[in-house]
Amino acid sequence: MLTELVLAPSDPLTYAPALVPDEKEISQRTLAVHGGEPRTYPYDALVAPITQTATYSFADTAELIAYFEGRKDREEYGRYGNPSVRLVEEKLAALEDTEDAAAFASGMAAMTSTILALVKSGSHVILFADCYRRTRQFVTTFLDRFGVSNTLIPPADVGALRAAIRPETRLVIAEAPTNPYQTVPDLEQLAEICRAKKVKTLIDSTFATPVNFRPANFGIDIVVHSATKYLAGHNDVLGGVVAGKAGIVSLVRDLRSVFGACLDPHAAYLVHRGIKTLALRVEQQNASAQALAQRLEQHPRVRRVWYPGLPSHPNHETAKRLMTGFGGVVTFEVDADLDGTSRVVDACRIPRIAPSLGGVESLIEQPALMSYFELSTEEREAIGIRNNLIRYAVGIEDTGELIADLVAALDRTA
Ligand SMILES: *Cc1c(COP(=O)(O)O)cnc(C)c1O
């Protein structure tokens, strides 16, 4: 079956997918490499070309008319579509097991365009309080100005969701796992509650990746990714993707044509190439993070570890049921104050100090200083960001060496 599909002929000019995801036996590893790609490209190139063009020419007026009458499927102008971008979309749709996907210039461009495509003045949006900070800012301060109201519900509290739904609720936004405490709400239950009330569900699945979790298979309507993180995976490009049913993706794509936050063809090439190794990288990152989390739990200077792969995590059972891997981010609290915690960060020799995650390089940061610098200790405590918190986003370096480096940093600064 797999051989048949891989060898299926396809038209290189329309970039028809050769591998379709509804064949359940095809693994994410194989889909990452071949999913959504034609068997050949122009000039028999094995690898997808970068179609670097701002616009597209028509052979004659008859072709132009045929295109506008819908009799001819082709590109028209760069803001409306590009074959290099289309390849990213096809691959993501294959990996997420959705009908379609649309790519954007960044994760936030994908998120804001999607939300705007689904709400109007008078709508109500529900989101979990621990969702990505800029998403929360967009909904609570920006959308609020345009008459779209919102309710923030406590992290992972699906019961609170039931109570928060109103007749005008259009959209529920969730993430799994979240930052920095790695909460995993019961998204299957969430999807069920929302479907009964005809409310759309949007999951920011950046931390999980389609290797660990495919929200569409649990009844979630829309999946958004910051492709900047695991999908592209090399800390060298910004991008975003929205995946879901064709009708919703089409609405979002229409809005992209208006807002113009398109993924550049060169960036699309980097994202597309990055995704080819997604499964290998994420499997390695899952394994390293699990081992690092377990080792940290044994360390006398570590007060608490937050990783959904640990039985000590409050959402461990939910994560086990929904996900096939627990991700590459480990959050932990050191037995130290703000400065003592900074000393641990500074003493690490392998991870680099930087925001972001999901790339081949391990990154380390103190949320109190990186994302919440402008707040006082008291204000941080109020939203659950402690001064002694460290977020470690593992890369693909050797697991044993990453652990030894962090343990040495903890020991040296004791
Ligand atoms: C980074 C990130 C975003 C934003 O993505 P950009 O590509 O930086 O715009 C959104 N959600 C999550 C969970 C992220 O980690």
CATH numbers and ranges of domains, the chain: 23-275 (3.40.640.10), 279-412 (3.90.1150.10)
pTM: predicted TM-score of the whole model, two decimal places: 0.93
Backbone angles phi, psi at 29, to 5 degrees: -60, -45
pLDDT of residue 110: 98
User: Which residue's alpha carbon is nearest to atom 11 within ligand 1?
Assistant: 132
Kindly give the distance from the C-alpha atom of residue 201 to the centroid of ligand 1, in angstroms, as a whole number: 18
pLDDT of residue 103: 98
pLDDT of residue 170: 98
Kindly give the distance from the C-alpha atom of residue 204 to the centroid of ligand 1, in angstroms, as a whole number: 9
What are the mean pLDDT values of the chain's consecutive 10-residue runs (414 residues total)?
Answer: 38 48 76 93 94 97 97 96 97 97 98 98 96 95 96 95 97 96 96 97 98 97 98 98 98 97 98 98 98 98 98 98 97 97 98 97 95 84 89 98 98 95
Identify whether 180 is preceded by a cis peptide bond (ω within 30 of 0). Answer: yes
pLDDT of residue 6: 41
pLDDT of residue 7: 33
User: Which residue's alpha carbon is nearest to atom 6 within ligand 1?
Assistant: 107
The number of beta carbons lying within 10 Å of the beta carbon of residue 62 is 10
Ligand 1 residue neighbourhood (C-beta within 6 Å): 106-108, 132, 175, 204, 206-207, 226, 228-229, 238, 240
pLDDT of residue 19: 53
Polymer length in residues for the chain: 414
Kindly give the distance from the C-alpha atom of residue 3 to the centroid of ligand 1, in angstroms, as a whole number: 36
